[in-house]
Amino acid sequence: MQSVEEDKVTSQPRILCFAGSLRKDSLNKKLVKIAMAGAQKEGVETTYIDLKEYPLPVYDGDLEAESGLPENAKKLKAIMKEHQGFLLACPEYNSSISGALKNAIDWTSRPEPGEKPLVCYSGKIAGIMAASPGGLGGLRGLVAVRSILENIGMMVVPQQVAVASALDAFDEDGNLQDPKRQASVEEIGNRVASIAAKLFSSQSTTTSA
């Protein structure tokens, strides 16, 4: 797994993996690591981050105008810009996207001086999934996440998984007890990695031409 601290030229695409939850024992943190394993099987580099390590104030345009982006927003942007694809596990809060995830997107979508709009997101590939103790598995939240990501320029793969009754869905090792569901989550990671590899190859060819 690629370390966040490493900063090097890579010959293959990189996939950033994180959950929209801050809770230590988050079900969605477990879920995104399964998708990450699927991406690794495709041979790409992966990076896992925890949003809890990048605390941010609620987005405030006045704060941005007065002092620019918070330091943790800059750090997140730097990480995101180094990756060609994202895997996001998205908890459902009140039938929609979590506040932590929305706030992280709001800050990292803001351009800095001399920077293209939506540089962290535009033209990149994403895979989304959710886990919830409820009966719908976070499905309603995924609708909101997909809409946001597509509207800020990302391509979101059609495959998605919503794990219902998730308190009983994982084993002691963090894997899903249902082999078919485990394979479906891994396939999201594999699919994102495969598309990212093609995009990366195309961009590399264009740059070399």
Dist CA 89 CA 144 (whole Å):
13
Collapsing DSSP to helix, strand or coil, 87 comes out as strand
Q: What is the pLDDT of residue 36?
A: 98
Residue matched to tokens 């033209």: 123
Does residue 54 contact residue 193 with C-beta atoms inside 8 Å?
Answer: no
Domains and CATH numbers, the chain: 14-208 (3.40.50.360)
Q: What is the number of alpha carbons within 13 Å of residue 208 lying toward its C-beta?
A: 7
Dist CA 148 CA 14 (whole Å):
22
CA distances to 108, 161, 178, 197 from 184, rounded to whole Å, are 29, 7, 10, 20
* 165: its two tokens: 């009754």
C-alpha closest to that of 82 among 28, 151, 3, 141: 3
Dist CA 43 CA 34 (whole Å):
15
Task: Please report which residue ranges of 125-178 form alpha helices under DSSP H.
Answer: 139-151
The parts of the chain modelled with pLDDT lower than 50 are: 2-9, 207-209
C-alpha closest to that of 135 among 95, 179, 103: 95
Dist CA 160 CA 158 (whole Å):
6
> Could you tell me the sign of the dihedral formed by the alpha carbons of 172, 168, 191, 201, in that order?
negative
Torsion of CA 18, 81, 8, 72, to 10 degrees: -70
Q: What is the pLDDT of residue 205?
A: 54
Length of the chain: 209
